[in-house]
């Protein structure tokens, strides 16, 4: 099977990152870099989701997936409620898609609920949406359409 002949029914291209909820981003970055030995790639605050996040990469530059640490920016953040309810740990799995609107529409057609009516801004200028964990057997599934070109900052 050639890579050019991808099944059009296949929406998820690759694992983009694993999202891990943490109460204290600075302490978590310290643990993930100094103890686990991952490399900090990027930090940014996302006011749309009221979270502060850090992307960390493993040694192999070919590794597709990276770790995203997410901490609530305030008590009103949905992530704050997640931490209260569930505690720190794996919070979502993110898949890369070519077109987040198409992926969302297709999943709606297949009977799944999306968290947002239209895509929201994600890390590094990406556009994202989430499939509701109640429709995936408990996994909050993020759909990531990467930005065409790297954004500034
Ligand atoms: Co994410």
The per-residue pLDDT for range 79-127, each reduced to its tens digit, is: 999 999 999 999 999 999 999 999 999 999 999 999 999 999 998 889 9
Active site (annotated) includes residue 68: yes
| Identified catalytic residue from 30, 44, 49, 68 | 68
- Could you list which residues have their CB under 5 Å from ion ligand 1? 19, 68, 94, 142
* Active-site residue, 76 included: no
Is 92 among the residues known to form the active site? yes
Ligand 1 centroid to residue 73 C-alpha, Å: 15
Structure confidence at residue 1 (pLDDT): 46
In the reported structure, the alpha carbon of residue 136 is separated from the centroid of ligand 1 by a whole-number distance in angstroms of 16
Radius of gyration for the chain, computed over Cα atoms and rounded to the nearest angstrom = 16
**Residue 142: band (very low, low, confident or very high) from pLDDT cuts 50, 70, 90:** very high
Compute the distance from residue 25 Cα to the ligand 1 centre, in Å: 14
d(CA 35, CA 15): 24
Q: Model confidence over 24-67: pLDDT tens digits?
A: 999 999 999 999 999 999 999 998 889 999 999 998 877 667 99
Task: Give residue 112's pLDDT.
Answer: 97
Residue 40: the pLDDT is 95
pLDDT for residue 153 is more than 50: no
Q: What spatial distance separates the first Cα and last Cα of the chain, rounded to whole Å?
A: 40
Nearest to 46 by CA among 19, 28, 27: 19
Averaged pLDDT for residues 12-34: 96
Active site residue 149: no
Side-chain half-sphere CA neighbours of 125 within 13 A: 7
Distance between Cα 34 and ligand 1 center (Å): 22
């Amino acid at each position: 099977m050639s890579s050019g002949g991808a099944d059009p029914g296949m929406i998820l291209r690759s694992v983009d990152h694993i999202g891990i909820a943490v109460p204290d981003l600075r302490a978590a970055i310290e643990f993930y870099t100094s103890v686990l030995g991952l490399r900090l790639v990027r930090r940014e605050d996302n006011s749309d989701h009221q979270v502060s996040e850090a992307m960390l990469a493993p040694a192999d530059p070919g590794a597709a997936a990276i770790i995203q640490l997410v901490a609530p920016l305030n008590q009103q953040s949905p992530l704050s409620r997640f931490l209260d309810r569930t505690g720190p740990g794996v919070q979502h799995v993110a898949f890369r898609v070519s077109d987040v609107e198409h992926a969302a529409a297709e999943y709606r057609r297949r009977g799944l609920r999306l968290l947002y009516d239209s895509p929201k801004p994600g890390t590094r200028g990406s556009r994202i949406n989430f499939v509701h964990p109640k429709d995936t057997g408990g996994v909050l599934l993020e759909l990531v359409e990467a930005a065409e070109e790297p954004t500034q900052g």
